[in-house]
Structure formats: structure tokens, C-alpha cells
């Protein structure tokens, strides 16, 4: 069956926390008819990062991708990118594609990830926000809003509402609460001048964490109303994730009003109809 959006610009490998090698991911992508594949290994603060690429790893990663680019040239366009956490201490030069993502709160030299277990969020709210989850959400979106100060050029804003990973059935907070809505809208206002593309990340859906994508339908609507652009990605950590669960995401964004999604090429981003 033909893929409706044969592209993915959020792909991990064994150089960070992925399960398949670059070679295996590229072969599977080409085999299934994909036209564009962006590798985006994790860059993070190495003091805390078991899931980040190592310093030596980054050099080899870039070499391996350069070879794969040539191997697949004419059949599938491969880009060498990275997923830079807000707290990364790495150099972002030499990448064709940069995703900026917030994965954790930083307290001094201590990092607490938002995606490990719900109790971590409650503990964070206690420590940083007087037990108020809406205030913690505000702090999270303030980190998102600080992306333009930290990075000069960002191609993609990754999983904008990652804080909600454990919010099925409003376990953490009510996403229709005005305090929450204000917090993400303020972040969107700060991010728009960066002219980055917002990611519709379907991993929440195929991993059955949530019944929707990152970010939520409401945030996607807010992005659309601001004239923001989107791309659809699988945050793929293994070959079986490639282009998985794209159809419901495409149907959703079309129903919101998006007519196109962005693909990335060696000559820059391009909009394609969806
Ligand atoms: Zn991420
Ligand atoms: Zn990722």
C-alpha cells in the first residue's frame, strides 16, 4: 500500500537509545517506499545522559550517515540531524536538521525526566511549584518558550506537550483548564518568530500512552490559527515504528485545516500536500 506521507524526520538508532542500527533503519525505510528519512540522534547534557550519543559516537554517526546518503541517493533522501534537548551542551553545527525538544527539568546539576513515571511529575510539582501541577506545566512551557534564546536555528519543535505523556484521563491535570491553555499559548507565541516546524509526533498513539498525538488536538488547532507549519513523525526507535499510525494523524490535521506538511531536503524545507 502506498504511504500517504512517505517521510520521517525524527529517527533514533543504536547510537543513542534506538534499537536498530542506522543501516537497518535506512534499509527498512527504503524497502517500504519512504522518500525521505532524517536521522536525529539524541544530544543531551552528558552528565545525565545515558540515552545521548557519545562524543566519539557523534563523529562516527556523521560518517555513517554520509555513506548511507550516497548509498540511497536517487531512491530516498537521508539527512543527518539531531534531537537536541534544551539542556544539551553539544555543538549543533554540521547537522542538516535540528529538532529542539524538552525532556526534563533541571535543578542545579540534577535532571528529572518527564517521561519516566507519573510520580516524578508529582514530586517535581512539590519541589518546584508548591504542589501545583498547573504551575509546573507553566514552568515546562517556559522551557519550551526559551528555545529561541538557546538555539539560533531550529528546524522542528519536538513533542511540544511531552509533559502530558502520563495525562491519560487527566491523571496530572485538566488540559481544558484556562491556566494550562494560557501556558501553552504563551509558549506558542514565543516560538512562532523562530519559524520552526511543529512536529505531530505519533509515538504517543502507537505506544498507546495517549489516545492522541503530541501535541494535543487543541494545541494543533492553536498552531493552525497562528499560521504554524507541521510535519508528521514517528519518533522512531526501531524499524517497526516507521510511518506507523500516520493515517489517523493525517486525517486529524486535515480536519483542523492543515493542507500541507513540511518535508526536509538538502535544499531546505518544502511543503507537500497531504
Ligand atoms: Zn524527544
Ligand atoms: Zn526522539
Name the phi and psi angles at 98, rounded to 5. Answer: -120, 120
User: Are 155 and 196 within 8 A, CB to CB?
Assistant: yes
Ligand nearest to C-alpha 235: 2
Interval 80-110: pLDDT, tens: 999 999 999 898 999 999 999 999 999 998 9
What is the structure's pLDDT at 183? 98
Q: What is the pTM of this model?
A: 0.97
User: Which residues, by Cβ under 5 Å, contact ligand 2, an ion?
Assistant: 83, 235
Question: For residue 205, how far is its CA from the centre of ligand 1 (angstroms)?
Answer: 15
Question: For residue 135, how far is its CA from the centre of ligand 2 (angstroms)?
Answer: 25
Question: For residue 222, how far is its CA from the centre of ligand 1 (angstroms)?
Answer: 21
The set of cell numbers assigned to 162 is 511531552
What is the structure's pLDDT at 51? 85
Question: For residue 101, how far is its CA from the centre of ligand 1 (angstroms)?
Answer: 6
pLDDT band at 47 (very low <50, low <70, confident <90, very high): low
User: Which residues, by Cβ under 5 Å, contact ligand 1, an ion?
Assistant: 101
268-273 and 260-265 beta bridge pairing: antiparallel
pLDDT at 250 over 70: yes
**How far, in Å, CA of 155 to CA of 149, rounded?**
15
pLDDT band at 254 (very low <50, low <70, confident <90, very high): very high
Residue range 7-273, CATH number: 3.20.20.140
Instruction: Tell me what the pLDDT averaged over the chain comes to.
Output: 96
Q: Count Cβ atoms below 10 Å from residue 55 Cβ, excluding itself.
A: 9
The set of cell numbers assigned to 38 is 532524517
The residue with greater pLDDT, 52 or 162, is 162
What is the structure's pLDDT at 113? 94
Domain boundaries, the chain: 7-273
DSSP for 122-133 reads: HHHHHHHHTT-H
Interval 170-229: pLDDT, tens: 999 999 999 999 999 999 999 999 999 999 999 999 999 999 999 999 999 999 999 999
Share of the chain above pLDDT 70, in %: 99
Question: For residue 197, how far is its CA from the centre of ligand 1 (angstroms)?
Answer: 15
Q: Cell numbers 511529575 correspond to what residue?
A: 121
Name the phi and psi angles at 65, rounded to 5. Answer: -70, -35
Ligand nearest to C-alpha 115: 1
User: Are 15 and 22 within 8 A, CB to CB?
Assistant: yes
Question: Who's near 234: CB < 8 A, 6+ residues apart?
Answer: 8, 10, 11, 201, 202, 203, 206, 241, 242, 243, 244, 245, 246
Question: Who's near 39: CB < 8 A, 6+ residues apart?
Answer: 11, 12, 13, 22, 25, 61, 65, 78, 79, 80, 81
pLDDT band at 259 (very low <50, low <70, confident <90, very high): very high
Amino acid at each position: 500500500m502506498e504511504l500517504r506521507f512517505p517521510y520521517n524526520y525524527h529517527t533514533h538508532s543504536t547510537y543513542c537509545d534506538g534499537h536498530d542500527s542506522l543501516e537497518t533503519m535506512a534499509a527498512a525505510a527504503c524497502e517500504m517506499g519512504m522518500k525521505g528519512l532524517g536521522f536525529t540522534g539524541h544530544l543531551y547534557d552528558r552528565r545525565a545522559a545515558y540515552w545521548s550519543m557519545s562524543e566519539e559516537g557523534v563523529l562516527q554517526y556523521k560518517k555513517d550517515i554520509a555513506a548511507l546518503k550516497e548509498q540511497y541517493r536517487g531512491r530516498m533522501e537521508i539527512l543527518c540531524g539531531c534531537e537536541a534537548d534544551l539542556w544539551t551542551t553539544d555543538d549543533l553545527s554540521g547537522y542538516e536538521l535540528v529538532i529542539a525538544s524538552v525532556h526534563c527539568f533541571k535543578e542545579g546539576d540534577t535532571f528529572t525526566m518527564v517521561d519516566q513515571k507519573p510520580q516524578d511529575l508529582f514530586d517535581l510539582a512539590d519541589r518546584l511549584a508548591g504542589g501545583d501541577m498547573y504551575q509546573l506545566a507553566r514552568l515546562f512551557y517556559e522551557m519550551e518558550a526559551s528555545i529561541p534564546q538557546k538555539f539560533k536555528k531550529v528546524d522542528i519543535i519536538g513533542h511540544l506537550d511531552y509533559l502530558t505523556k502520563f495525562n491519560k484521563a487527566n491523571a496530572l491535570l485538566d488540559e481544558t483548564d484556562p491556566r494550562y491553555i494560557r501556558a501553552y499559548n504563551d509558549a506558542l507565541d514565543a516560538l512562532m518568530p523562530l519559524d520552526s516546524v511543529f512536529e505531530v509526533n505519533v509515538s504517543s498513539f502507537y505506544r498507546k500512552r495517549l489516545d492522541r498525538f503530541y501535541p494535543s488536538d487543541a494545541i494543533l488547532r492553536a498552531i493552525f490559527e497562528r499560521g504554524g507549519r507541521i510535519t508528521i513523525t514517528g519518533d522512531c526507535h526501531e524499524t517497526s515504528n516507521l510511518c506507523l499510525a500516520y493515517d489517523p494523524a493525517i486525517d486529524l490535521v486535515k480536519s483542523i485545516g492543515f493542507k500541507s506538511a513540511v518535508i526536509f531536503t538538502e535544499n531546505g524545507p518544502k511543503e507537500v500536500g497531504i
